[in-house]
Amino acid sequence: MQGHSVKSIRIAIVLIGTFSAAHAQSLPGGFVYLRDIDPSIIQDIRYATSNNFLGRPLAGYGAGECVVKREVGLRLKAVQQELAAQNLSLKMFDCYRPARASLDMVRWSQNGHESAADRRYNPRIAKTELFRLGYIASRSQHSTGAALDLTLVDLKADNSARIDPAKSYADCTAPVAARLPEGSVDMGTGYDCTDEKGHTAAPSITAEQRAWRKRLVAAMARQGFVNYSKEWWHFSLPGAGGAAYDFPIQPRRN
């Protein structure tokens, strides 16, 4: 969801016209598809699917592609190279986020419904409180191309588990075997879990889960990325942001 507080960031929404299919790979200056920088980094762009807290693709996500500022992509490549030597990989959940997607989140929070799917991601917090508590913002650093949601994958492990539509999964704070499968290491909660257990330094997780979080934070920090304390999965690169954008994410041409 949200990452760092955006109150200190001056954001100018830059509206880019909707791209035609013939120009699907066109990006504003300074933006790149992460696959063009490092295709070995695993991508699971959740807001382009129904596997997220809204239960549907968000506005502006026309493709499950990680788009970032070039500097961010190059630093992610350096992190990935370090992890590869340990049989690990980054897995991207969200990268650049069109500003319209953040507004989509606002509308969702105000629709007056609290479904079982909502509770899977927000087990103890009412969706109307998510903005006040800093989990979602109407203006997000993601829209600058300098913020990321990600995790680690153990390449030696069996990561083949897929979501079974017929199964009733527990909420995001449950033990890993009971919650939605994510094909990644057990960080103590699922992605986008709006709960104190999702805070990076949460005392309620196991020693092994804490070690994985520290390993991720340390690897990212060596390339200058800063973690957001309320979300173990959220990182940003100071100084790489700037204006926020609203161009849609379109399929990358090979």
Query: Residue for token digits 């790489």?
Result: 240
Task: For residue 142, say whether it is annotated as part of any ligand binding site.
Answer: yes
What element of type H or E holds 31? strand 31-33
Separation between Cα atoms, residue 45 and residue 92, nearest integer Å:
6
Separation between Cα atoms, residue 9 and residue 180, nearest integer Å:
34
Q: What is the full DSSP assignment across 51-108?
A: -STTSSPPTTB-S---EEEHHHHHHHHHHHHHHHTTTEEEEEEE-S--HHHHHHHHHH
Task: For residue 246, say whether it is annotated as part of any ligand binding site.
Answer: no
From the list 163, 31, 153, the residue with the least C-alpha distance to 97 is 31
Separation between Cα atoms, residue 52 and residue 58, nearest integer Å:
9
Is 231 designated active site?
yes
Task: For residue 149, say whether it is annotated as part of any ligand binding site.
Answer: yes
**Based on C-alpha coordinates, what's the Rg of the chain?**
17
Token couple for 169: 């999964």
Separation between Cα atoms, residue 254 and residue 39, nearest integer Å:
12
Q: Given 82, 114, 196, 231, which residue is catalytic?
A: 231
User: Which residues line the annotated binding site for Zn(2+)?
Assistant: 142, 149, 234
User: Which residues line the annotated binding site?
Assistant: 142, 149, 234
Catalytic site positions: 231
